Amino acid sequence: MSSPDIAGILENSKELDRLRKEQEEVLLEINKMHKKLISSPEVVEKPGDSSLSKLKMLYVQAKELSESEVSISSQLLGQLDALMPSGTQGQHRRRIGSEQKKKRVKADSEVPRLSPSMRSHLESLASLKGEQVAARITQENSGKDEWFVVKVIHFDKETREFEVLDEDPGEDEESTVQRKYKLPMSHIIPFPKRSDLSSVPDFPTGRHVLAVYPETTALYKATVCQSRKRKIDDYVVEFDDDEEDGSLPQRVVPFHRVVALPDGYRQ
């Protein structure tokens, strides 16, 4: 085993340790935010409060750290495999030992890969089975991304992919057969729950959102026209490119069919 090989393994080991420590720090911050929101849920309704934005940033950071940990762990496995002895004598025994070593290292890396908070998040995504969500789907004929209301059939925690069903393909489709899609987590946005008003976001006047166009299952970019007095009140919005007689009509959309406009939204 050469010195550069040893140095590379030690460097990746240090980086893995740093990532795990940073994950723990982020988890502590997430837990603090959870406790704050549980004890004082009304804080998110105060003007200028950024609790939800901070929580989202922490989740994004936790996700990036987890992915980085997976990448470094894979590099370490590759470095260890490259240094394993080769030859014909005792080859079968060494191969078995190598597989056991890989399994141990993989198991060790998988244990901290997901923080308890992230595991809880994945569990909540799995609970969406049977629920309707907003989904970004790439159209085969045009290659454009469009947002539709779909039904969750299954969530795979290993691949972190959703299997969804487009229950209403539309009259302009060549086939009226309901279509299934497999989509990554980033292409799914859960709708607010009517049974849990405390989790319903309140978008102020002027905020850009993604809303279901009335009497359709398609979502488009819209602008909130007036603030709501109660969480059960509907939104009044103006949809982009919805011009009638030279002006944008104001349309009513139920609060549980309005979500935050995704970063980098393109129509």
Q: 225 is written with which tokens?
A: 């026209």
Residue 30 lies in a domain: yes
H or E element that contains 147:
strand 145-156
Report d(CA 202, CA 243) in Å as an integer.
Answer: 26
Same domain, residue pair 59 and 157: no
Domain stop point among 190, 210, 230: 190
Whether 267 maps to a domain, the answer reads no
Domain count, the chain: 3
Residues 6+ apart with CB under 8 A from 203: 209, 224, 235, 258, 260
Please list, in sequence order, all residues whose beta carbon lies within 8 angstroms of the beta carbon of residue 227, skipping any fewer than 6 positions away: 202, 204, 205
- Tens-digit pLDDT profile for residues 155-173: 988 888 999 999 886 655 5
Q: How confident is the model at residue 111 (pLDDT cuts 50, 70, 90)?
A: very low
Which one-letter DSSP state was computed for residue 223?
E
Picking from 123, 143, 177, the residue at the C-terminal end of a domain is 123
Residues 18 and 106 in one domain: yes
**Dihedral angle over CA of 116, 122, 124, 130, nearest 10:** -160
Pair 86, 106 in one domain? yes
CB distance 185 to 200 below 8 Å: no
Q: Say how many C-beta atoms besides its own lie within 10 A of residue 68's C-beta.
A: 16
Higher model confidence: residue 95 or residue 132? Answer: 132
48-107 residue pLDDT tens: 778 788 888 888 888 788 777 777 777 767 767 666 654 434 333 334 344 444 444 444
> For residue 226, what are the β-bridge partners?
236
- Whether 88 is covered by a domain: the verdict is yes
Q: In which domain, by residue range, is 89 found? A: 3-123
- 147 within some domain: yes
Judgement on whether residues 164 and 237 belong to the same structural domain of the protein: no
- pLDDT of the residue at 115: 59
